[in-house]
Amino acid sequence: MLIDIKQLFQKNNHKIRKVAYFGFADAKPDDPLYKEAFECAKYLSEKGYVAINGGGPGTMRAVSEGAKASKGKTIGVTFYPKDITNFEGRDKANPLDKEIKTPNYLKRTLKLLELGDVYVIFRGGTGTISEFGMAWGLARLYFGHHKPLILYGAFWNNIVRAFTENMRIRADDMKVYKVVTTPEEAYQAILSFEEALKTQNHSHKEEQAFQL
């Protein structure tokens, strides 16, 4: 079956309800990163957002635990590897209300990106880097009706600065994300994104009406 990328990844209604979280699978419960993910998901779940993650350990498990601590809903998109050397797979201790099984790593990533209305991205490794890159690229492609990124942690400023100094980053690329350091800032970023997307969509419709 062919996948309609536009249908899967552009955001049409501008109402954010589901948050997809990405981060380091090897984070342990005593790791500050684990605690960050827990507190962020707990706070956003209190506001009514569904928490989506990869169903594995580390920040994924922390997200689910945080969401459940505030009686929130959790969805896990999983993949059960048979021949991959370095992949964590499903963590049975990750408390999920619903599990969506996918056949391979790529489709798992695509499903996570499809389900989320916004992406919260914590510190992570190569997997997180690839997820961040795909999410950022899709936001640029469908700018104006895209799914925004929330980059959690001040360190992201250094990473984005390195990109802008060494790569060919367009002006619109810098408008699809916000760097935050607290759960409260993440929530305010979601509200800000909703308002900005609503305004951009309204302007786009006015341009189309004028052309007609």
Give the pLDDT of residue 107: 95
Give the pLDDT of residue 194: 94
- pLDDT tens string 158-170: 999 999 999 999 9
Cα–Cα distance, 20 to 24 (Å, whole number): 14
* Mean pLDDT, range 175-180, rounded to an integer: 98
Tell me the two tokens of residue 153. Answer: 């942690």
User: What percent of the chain has a predicted confidence (pLDDT) above 90?
Assistant: 79
- Domain ranges for the chain, please list them: 14-211
Question: What class, spelled out in words, does domain 14-211 have in CATH?
Answer: alpha beta
Give the pLDDT of residue 1: 41
Give which of 38, 10, 13, 43 is closest to 188, Cα–Cα: 43
Give the pLDDT of residue 204: 47
Q: Is the pLDDT of residue 13 over 90?
A: no
Alpha-helical (H) ranges within 47-123 are 59-69, 105-115
What is the residue-averaged pLDDT of the chain?
90
pLDDT band at 198 (very low <50, low <70, confident <90, very high): confident
Is there a contact between 49 and 20 (Cβ–Cβ < 8 Å)? no
- pLDDT tens string 62-117: 999 999 999 999 999 999 988 887 788 899 999 999 999 999 999 999 999 999 99
* Mean pLDDT, range 129-149, rounded to an integer: 95
